[in-house]
Amino acid sequence: MTDIATAFYTPLLWTGESDEVLRDVTLICEQGMLVEITAGRSPNATDLGNAAIIPPLVNAHCHLEFSQLKQPFVTNRPFPKWIGETMRTRRENQDVSAAIRAGIEESARVSVGFLADVKTQPVGCYPQTGDNQPEVILFQEVIGLTDEAVTNQKEQISAFVQESGSSRFGLSPHAPFTVRPDLLEHCVQLSQDMGIPLMMHLAETKAELELLTEGTGELVDMLSQFGMWSADMYPSGTRPLDLLKVLSHAPRVLLAHGNYLDEQEIQFLAEHPQMHIVYCPRTHHYFGHTQHPWQSMLEAGVNVAIGTDGRGSNPDLSIWNEVRFLKQQFPDVEPRRLLEMATINGAKSLGMETTIQIGRPANWTLLVLRNSEAKLMTSLQDLCQAEVLTTGPWI
């Protein structure tokens, strides 16, 4: 954006604030801020063509380091085997910076405005993102089951916190089966002290529930093989709810997946609005899990965002493709709910408010529609069903 006022004419605008679709409007921006929305096409406005403007698409859970993969791993189960594939890929990747750059460029092409990434690599592997590229919010991955690993991780966390300075960032204690409870407590404490968010994979697989409750199953077998399982890590009968209680002391928490959270746990989330679910629809489908409770979560009042996860389980990093997938799988769902999950709910999980309003930054996603469709659209239902030729670049 320049200092000079810039105007954009669009046949369709959804601000994210209601069910209403505004037709034939001009958005006037000054110094990167939206200053006016006027009816009709203003003289000198740039015509965006057959396009719709919506709040920025948000990818609330990703692993950019796997973005060089052309397709998801052939092996999707058992889960420990899939984890083995990710570890092998990480080991064999000669140029992780290129993979991360490819993921950011892909995300820019599909008009993602904000992206939350689980960071396992040095900050130097991430390029500076420019105009029309997503803001990448790094969540330092934390994994530690042994005394040595826990000590080492605490040092790494301190170094990351210092180098992150004033940028938006967080910590990602990986999952219940890779983070010892005292290390999780440490992350929660730091999160409280510094006012930073946490992201954790939780209730992702049935094997994880079995590990917590019984101390048995394929994940226990995997950890035992590496000599990292300790039978007293969790008392018998531990549930995701017990971890939710620990995490609820953090000021903001993104829970990746939550595939197997039960009614009581969903109710707990509803009572703790600082806790957000990041549902990854196509990744969920890839693993063949039983139906995800996202609709019950929304009904209970839980904020549900959308993520892609990494390309080890998803064919691309497009959030719009997640919306289209959900629309096909759940044709009766209110379209506004899907659009909210893909945009403003994701922003909320990252501590931001991104509805399109006068006086706010002029950040939005542009959906380029198939010829002549934009003129015919009157509802969000139409928009959700539209064939989008391309998304972006986001303005």
What is the binding site for Zn ion (CB under 5 A)? 309
Contacts of 363 (CB under 8 A, 6+ apart): 55, 56, 113, 354, 394, 395
Q: How far is the CB of 65 from Zn ion (least distance, A)?
A: 11
Q: How far is the CB of 375 from Zn ion (least distance, A)?
A: 40
* Rg (the chain; Cα; Å): 21
Q: Which residue, 16 or 72, is less far from Zn ion as judged by CB?
A: 72
Within the chain, residue ranges assigned H as helices are 79-92, 96-109, 147-164, 181-194, 206-214, 218-225, 240-247, 263-270, 281-287, 294-300, 319-329, 335-342, 344-349, 373-376, 380-385
Distance, in Å, from the CA atom of 207 to the CA atom of 205, rounded to the nearest integer, reads 5
- Residue 117's nearest CA partner among 98, 128, 104 is 104
Is residue 50 within 8 A of residue 268, CB to CB? The reply is no
**Choice between 80 and 215, CB closer to Zn ion:** 80
State the minimum distance, in angstroms, from the CB of residue 79 to Zn ion: 12
Q: How far is the CB of 174 from Zn ion (least distance, A)?
A: 9
**Closer residue to Zn ion in complex, CB, 50/172:** 172
> Minimal distance in Å, beta carbon 153 to Zn ion?
18
Q: Report in angstroms how near the CB of residue 280 gets to Zn ion at its nearest.
A: 7
Residue of this chain nearest to Zn ion (CB atom): 309
Question: Quick one: DSSP state of residue 274?
Answer: T
Alpha-carbon distances of 356 from 5, 30, 54, 160, rounded to whole Å: 17, 14, 8, 33
Dist. CA 385–CA 388, nearest whole Å: 9
| CB of 265 or CB of 309, closer to Zn ion | 309
Q: Are 66 and 89 in contact (CB under 8 A)?
A: yes
Q: In terms of CB distance, is 276 or 336 closer to Zn ion?
A: 276
Per-residue buried b or exposed e for 273-282, using 16+ beta carbons within 10 Å of the residue's own CB: ebbbbbbbbb
Alpha-carbon gap, residue 385 to 255, rounded angstroms: 29
Q: CB-wise, 309 or 340, nearer to Zn ion?
A: 309
Nearest residue to 38 (alpha-carbon basis) of 15, 16, 7, 14: 7
Q: Considering the complex, what minimum distance in angstroms separates the CB of residue 323 from Zn ion?
A: 19
CB of 72 to Zn ion, least distance (A): 13
Nearer to Zn ion, 139 or 169 (CB): 139
Nearer to Zn ion, 309 or 322 (CB): 309
